[in-house]
């Protein structure tokens, strides 16, 4: 597990290493759009099958696209070519930039460090409010990209002074082969990695990612199937299964819930969501309530931004439900809602303003609150503090022991003279 962040780095905050980053980018040779001839190693797409009738089926995400020759899947990032499914985005970075890890809704992972954020064209979902839709809903052939090999990504991150690499912008699921290849190299090079994902991915590829990724932020976009179907094109049950898998694989995870006024902001739904998180992941999984801003298909004036007070109220609901770390997101001026409080003595231990993190009472050596010595869960510079496991699930009710079936009556046999006993009268 990553142990790279220096204590000094923790205090320095965001806006780091911009000059170094620019220099690193200059190393990246531009490619033509989409997959350049010869630039894309053949067979780089995994997670697909050839069915008995010759159909090529991608099994990376629950859409399970059957892709006809020459066409792309629903995400636009994978296509059927020469009787196999290929990735159109392997190493084709549409976005490469250095930014604070806090931008990805990870508050308990190397706070105050920078990551090299990488994203491509394409996405497994089609959220109507997507903030990066020009890339995520774009076709790889039309979205400008530059070739960045896994080795080059590591080199660029190091030269930019980043402590890690973040796969985000679009859903990294569509470039999972690249994510895994790069994350393996990053670990060898002493960089941490994170994936900011919708969690719309099948369990087997997700488990492979869990083996090499240090942390996830999963967008749990709502808590009803109807919201998922109508607003994102995904399925809540599949995302819940992914969250359970990440938890079972023992990888650090934080959850973001983007709150869209009038769509997914009912307190009753949010309370149910918090209770589900508590029961599935335990009390220590940080939950970020993030503000929505009108954009893409949910544009103004029909839609308006989420008020900070709504997010603050939902944060209180999360605490009431039993979660121990809840935050307000996408409101850079928010101070209390972005602060990490010790769950035991309630002292502020890490403050944030904008995307700057400031250590006020966190002993990063012992990974404990300086005031009361409570251990704080997270992926810290000196090691990992695992979250408290979820409470045990209630035992499923045991079925009444099955009695052997009575022998079949012979035809013509007389009914038994024994009468059924009446139910005993209830005792008063
Ligand atoms: S990853 Fe893309 S091609 Fe594969 S099943 Fe999902 S949407 Fe379809």
pLDDT in tens, 341-373: 999 999 999 999 988 999 999 999 999 999 999
Atom of ligand 1 nearest to the CA of 200: 6
Are residues 98 and 82 located together in one domain of the fold? Answer: no
Are residues 83 and 198 located together in one domain of the fold? Answer: no
Task: Tell me, in angstroms, the distance from the centre of ligand 1 to residue 99's CA.
Answer: 29
Task: Tell me, in angstroms, the distance from the centre of ligand 1 to residue 63's CA.
Answer: 6
Within a domain: 173 = yes
DSSP state letter for 382: T
What's 283's domain CATH number? Answer: 3.20.20.70
Within a domain: 425 = no
In sequence order, what DSSP letters do the residues of 47-58 get, joined into one string?
A: SEEE-TTS-EEE
Neighbours of 109 (CB within 10 A): 30
Within a domain: 40 = no
Are residues 53 and 188 located together in one domain of the fold? Answer: no
- Residue 320's pLDDT is 97
Indicate whether residue 61 lines ligand 1 (CB < 6 A). Answer: yes
- Record the pTM: 0.86
Angle at 105 between CA 349 and CA 387, to 5 degrees: 60
Question: In which residue ranges of the chain is pLDDT below 70?
Answer: 1-43, 398-428
Q: Which residues contact 93 (CB under 8 A, 6 or more apart)?
A: 28, 118, 119, 120, 145, 146, 147, 148, 153
Are residues 100 and 58 located together in one domain of the fold? Answer: no
Helix (H) / strand (E) element for 357: namely strand 356-359
Are residues 273 and 304 located together in one domain of the fold? Answer: yes
Within a domain: 102 = yes
Dist CA 73 CA 123 (whole Å): 10
Are residues 31 and 54 located together in one domain of the fold? Answer: no
Are residues 217 and 298 located together in one domain of the fold? Answer: yes
Within a domain: 268 = yes
Within a domain: 289 = yes
- Residue 213's pLDDT is 98
Give the phi and the psi of residue 194 in degrees, each rounded to 5: -140, 155
Query: Pocket of ligand 1, candidates 68, 71, 78: which has the most ligand atoms within 8 Å of its Cβ, to mutate?
Result: 78
Q: Which residue has the least CA distance to atom 6 on ligand 1?
A: 61
Are residues 82 and 98 located together in one domain of the fold? Answer: no
Atom of ligand 1 nearest to the CA of 173: 1
- Residue 401's pLDDT is 54
Are residues 148 and 289 located together in one domain of the fold? Answer: yes
DSSP state letter for 80: E
Tell me if 389 sits within 8 A of 282, measured CB to CB: yes
Are residues 66 and 133 located together in one domain of the fold? Answer: no
Task: Tell me, in angstroms, the distance from the centre of ligand 1 to residue 59's CA.
Answer: 7
Tokens of 112: 């105050």
161 conformational bin, left if phi > 0, alpha if psi -120 to 50, beta if neither:
left
Dist CA 369 CA 372 (whole Å): 6
Dist CA 95 CA 143 (whole Å): 10
Are residues 320 and 334 located together in one domain of the fold? Answer: yes
| Nearest CA-CA partner of 173 in 192, 153, 197, 193 | 197
Distances (CA, A) of 394 to 126, 246, 252, 280: 37, 21, 25, 12
Question: 230 is in which domain, residue-wise?
Answer: 7-35+93-385
Dist CA 29 CA 134 (whole Å): 23
Dist CA 287 CA 77 (whole Å): 30
pLDDT in tens, 289-332: 999 999 999 999 999 999 999 999 999 999 999 999 999 999 99
The CB-based long-range contact list for 263-266 (8 Å cut-off, 24+ gap) reads 263/222, 263/227, 263/231, 264/221, 264/222, 264/223, 264/224, 264/227, 264/231, 265/306, 265/310, 265/314
- Residue 38's pLDDT is 39
Tell me if 74 sits within 8 A of 64, measured CB to CB: no
Residue 342: exposed, middle, or buried by beta-carbon count in 10 A (0-12, 13-18, 19+)? buried
- Residue 400's pLDDT is 55
């Amino acid at each position: 597990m990553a142990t790279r962040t220096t204590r000094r780095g923790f205090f320095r905050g965001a806006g780091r290493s911009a000059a170094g980053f620019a220099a690193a980018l200059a190393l990246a040779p531009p490619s033509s759009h989409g997959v350049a001839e010869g630039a894309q190693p053949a067979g780089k797409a995994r997670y697909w099958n050839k069915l008995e009738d010759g159909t090529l089926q991608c099994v990376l995400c629950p859409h399970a696209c059957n892709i006809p020759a020459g066409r792309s899947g629903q995400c636009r990032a994978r296509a059927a070519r020469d009787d196999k499914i290929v990735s159109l985005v392997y190493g084709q970075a549409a976005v490469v930039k250095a930014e604070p890890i806090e931008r990805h809704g990870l508050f308990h992972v190397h706070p105050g460090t920078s990551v090299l954020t990488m994203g491509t064209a394409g996405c497994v979902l089609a959220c109507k409010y997507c903030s990066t839709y020009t890339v995520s809903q774009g076709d790889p052939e039309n979205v400008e990209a530059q070739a960045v090999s896994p080795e080059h990504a590591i080199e660029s991150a190091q030269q930019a002074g980043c402590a890690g690499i973040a796969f985000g912008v679009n859903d990294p699921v569509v470039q999972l082969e690249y994510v895994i290849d790069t994350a393996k190299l990053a670990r060898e090079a002493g960089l941490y990695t994170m994936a900011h994902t919708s969690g719309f991915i099948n369990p087997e590829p997700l488990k492979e990612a869990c083996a090499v990724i240090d942390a996830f932020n999963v967008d749990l976009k709502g808590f009803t199937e109807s919201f998922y179907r109508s607003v994102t094109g995904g399925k809540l049950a599949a995302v819940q299964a992914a969250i359970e898998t990440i938890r079972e694989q023992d990888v650090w995870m934080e959850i973001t819930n983007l709150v869209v006024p009038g769509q997914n902001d009912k307190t009753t739904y949010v309370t149910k969501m918090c209770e589900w998180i508590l029961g599935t992941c335990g009390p220590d999984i940080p939950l970020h309530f993030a503000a929505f801003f009108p954009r893409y298909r949910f544009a103004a004036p029909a839609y308006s931004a989420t008020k900070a007070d709504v997010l603050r109220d939902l944060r209180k609901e999360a605490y009431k439900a039993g979660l121990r770390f809840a935050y307000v997101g996408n409101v850079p001026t928010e101070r209390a809602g972005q602060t990490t409080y010790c769950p035991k003595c309630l002292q502020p231990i890490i403050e944030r303003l904008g995307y700057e993190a400031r250590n006020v009472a966190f002993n990063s050596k012992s990974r404990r609150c300086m005031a009361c010595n409570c251990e704080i869960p997270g992926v810290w510079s000196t090691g990992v503090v695992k979250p408290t496991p979820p409470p045990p699930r209630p035992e499923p009710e045991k079925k009444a022991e099955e009695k052997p079936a009575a022998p079949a009556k012979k035809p013509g046999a007389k009914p038994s003279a024994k009468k059924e006993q009446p139910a005993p009268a209830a005792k008063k």
